[in-house]
Amino acid sequence: MSMDDREDMEPMKLTTLAFFGTSSCTPVEDNDTACFLINGHVLVDCGWAAGLTMLRRPEYDATMLSHVLLTHCHQDHYMGLASVLFYRAMQAARIEGDPRLTVAGPAEDIERIVDLTLDFIMAERLGERCPRPTILPLEPGDGLRAEELDITTVRTRHAVPSLAYRILDMDTGVEIGITGDTAYMPELARFFSGVDHLVTEASTGLNDPSPDNDAGHQSVLQAARLGKASDAENVSIVHTDLTRRDEFQAAAREICRAAYFPWSGDQHNLEDRSADPY
């Protein structure tokens, strides 16, 4: 291939996965709780302060969001929705096209959480700068489209109704799986089989929770086992005690060599699967 050919080529299409929050249920300095951004416009979970986290990273922009997907309605996953909606209201003049976000999540809780959030920020005083989002209640097994992303869902085992998401970028063929909070469910490996990047939780550290524990969380070792069984190319383990990151990563890699513990601000660029490498 000559340099001229190279210059004529379109830039390689990428699927981007940015980590805004990877801490356990309390944020640590410069790292929010669960919060991830795909292709710059789909936010999965909102941590405590997604709007603020995005402001601190000028390469991202909350006015570009099309969708927010909540895995479940625990506070460390939904509180940041208030900051996202308020920021967008403040920046309403910059939003092109339909200003309404779509907010999707477990059917049992999603409408209540969105309406409570709008009440909390007193959206009625913000008027048309803060339109009520389009709310999409999801039952396990439901699918949705977010522009180029085709998304499927499955129930996880957690203390409140919760969903895991498998997200296919139809422009690149790249697939991302996000478990949200869950007890160890070996059967999730089938749902996530062959994804390019699996994001899963390890809230209980190195200790496997007892099987009768109904909090619904995984250990580091269980997260690594799920990653290996899913045959995911990359396995990000999140929602854990990051002060023990090195120790956890060593233990996880004994089971799953792809295991990695990302930090807020990390971004993975996943290349177009159909691209010809030559």
In terms of CB distance, is 175 or 181 closer to Zn ion? Answer: 181
Q: How far is the CB of 182 from Zn ion (least distance, A)?
A: 9
Measured between alpha carbons, how far is 129 from 141 in angstroms, rounded to an integer? 34
Verify binding: residue 109, Zn ion, rule CB under 5 A.
Answer: no
In terms of CB distance, is 74 or 197 closer to Zn ion? Answer: 74
Site string for Zn ion, 181-220 (x = CB under 5 A): x---------------------------------------
Q: How far is the CB of 34 from Zn ion (least distance, A)?
A: 6
Measured between alpha carbons, how far is 138 from 109 in angstroms, rounded to an integer? 10
Verify binding: residue 74, Zn ion, rule CB under 5 A.
Answer: yes
In terms of CB distance, is 23 or 172 closer to Zn ion? Answer: 23
Question: Does residue 142 contact residue 153 with C-beta atoms inside 8 Å?
Answer: yes
Measured between alpha carbons, how far is 201 from 118 in angstroms, rounded to an integer? 29
Q: How far is the CB of 45 from Zn ion (least distance, A)?
A: 8
| Distances in whole angstroms, Cα of residue 1 to Cα of each of 4, 8, 124 | 8, 11, 59
Look at the block and give the residue holding tokens 């004994």: 254
Q: Of 70-78, 93-101, 124-132, 270-278, which part binds Zn ion (CB under 5 A)?
A: 70-78
Q: How far is the CB of 162 from Zn ion (least distance, A)?
A: 7
Q: How far is the CB of 145 from Zn ion (least distance, A)?
A: 26
3-class DSSP state of 225: helix
Strands ordered across the beta sheet of 234-238: 143-146, 149-155, 163-169, 175-178, 197-201, 234-238, 259-260
**Of 32, 45, 76, 175, which lies in the binding site for Zn ion, with binding defined by CB under 5 A?**
76
- What residues line the site for Zn ion (CB under 5 A)? 74, 76, 181
